[in-house]
Structure 1
């Protein structure tokens, strides 16, 4: 294993590349010591972990299939729906077991210095609205001002209660 692989269009290594490779190879101990100092031992620990993993289990033979649909991540807690305001001001209902979003309920918008809840509807500029049974239950909250009297957590709790998720 080489410390540095240099790729160039010329056939064979260039003289300056060969000198750099030789210098790094000759000073491998010092380079490793500096890398360990900068990473607080992580460089050597990572190399040991890779070596142990390579020696531990042989690679499986045949074709490997991966399920990326998310069904395999659903835990026993699945079915517990919760409401939260994410860091990008989206108000969503999600399954706490799998972490998957169930409904995009709306978002917190800002107009001048006022923050307010905008329900996910075509009138508010969303591509698709919510199902009618959800819209009926939380439509009164459309335009609700978010401030110290009604923080995001209180809005999420109110939506959760109206939808029967609590």
Structure 2
């Protein structure tokens, strides 16, 4: 299946011609693929078809959910807080490694490192949800030094958000 992403509403003429040519020559393409893989192409397609118990899509369209608020499946692990190498403070799913929320970042001003909460006032494009921001708003501007290292900040944020 070929997914073609275009700014126009309908398919382009070139795309329709290419799709029609591929469909018209599907048998020859499969035969060449089987010849090159010594029958492995058709065997793998049969195995995938037998293993797949999912019903076919109703409209033939595929939807890809790329939003940050997508639901987690049962295979996901617990949510943790960490300070990444590029000084971003994030909440992430430890099972999939997927970032759940950008909580803020460690910034430097006049030689002092501090935590900046992810709010519009601090220059972030989109802030945290109000219920999360309210729980850790007190940490906005927290100085990061030997008395309060990054690991202690991450632990405090996790405690306040109920993630630990």
Q: Which TM-score applies when normalising by structure 1?
A: 0.57
Match of 1:138 in 2: 136
Q: Does 1:58 align with 2:40?
A: yes
Match of 1:112 in 2: 110
Is the 1:107–1:118 contact (alpha carbons within 8 Å) kept by the matching residues of 2? yes
Please give the alpha-carbon distance, in whole angstroms, between the structure 1 residues aligned to 2:158 and 2:86.
19
Match of 1:127 in 2: 125
CA shift at 1:59, angstroms? 2.7
Is the 1:75–1:98 contact (alpha carbons within 8 Å) kept by the matching residues of 2? no
| Partner-residue secondary structure (3-state), 1:59 | helix
| Closer, same or farther: CA 104–57 of 1 in aligned 2, 3 Å | farther
Please give the alpha-carbon distance, in whole angstroms, between the structure 2 residues aligned to 1:93 and 1:116.
18
| Closer, same or farther: CA 59–111 of 1 in aligned 2, 3 Å | same
Is the 1:75–1:97 contact (alpha carbons within 8 Å) kept by the matching residues of 2? no
From 95, 98, 120, the equivalent of 2:96 is 98
Please give the alpha-carbon distance, in whole angstroms, between the structure 2 residues aligned to 1:57 and 1:161.
56
Is the 1:104–1:120 contact (alpha carbons within 8 Å) kept by the matching residues of 2? yes
Moved over 2 A (4+): 54-57, 59-62, 67-71
Gaps of 5+ in 2: 1-35, 49-62
- Per-residue deviation, residues 14-49 of structure 1 (Å, max 9, x unmatched): xxxxxxxxxxxxxxxxxxxxxxxxxxxxxxxxxxxx
Q: Which TM-score applies when normalising by structure 2?
A: 0.58
| Partner-residue secondary structure (3-state), 2:97 | coil
| Closer, same or farther: CA 59–150 of 1 in aligned 2, 3 Å | same
Please give the alpha-carbon distance, in whole angstroms, between the structure 2 residues aligned to 1:140 and 1:80.
24
- Count of matched residue positions in the alignment of Structure 1 and Structure 2: 109
| Closer, same or farther: CA 121–134 of 1 in aligned 2, 3 Å | same
CA shift at 1:112, angstroms? 1.6
CA RMSD between the two structures:
3.1
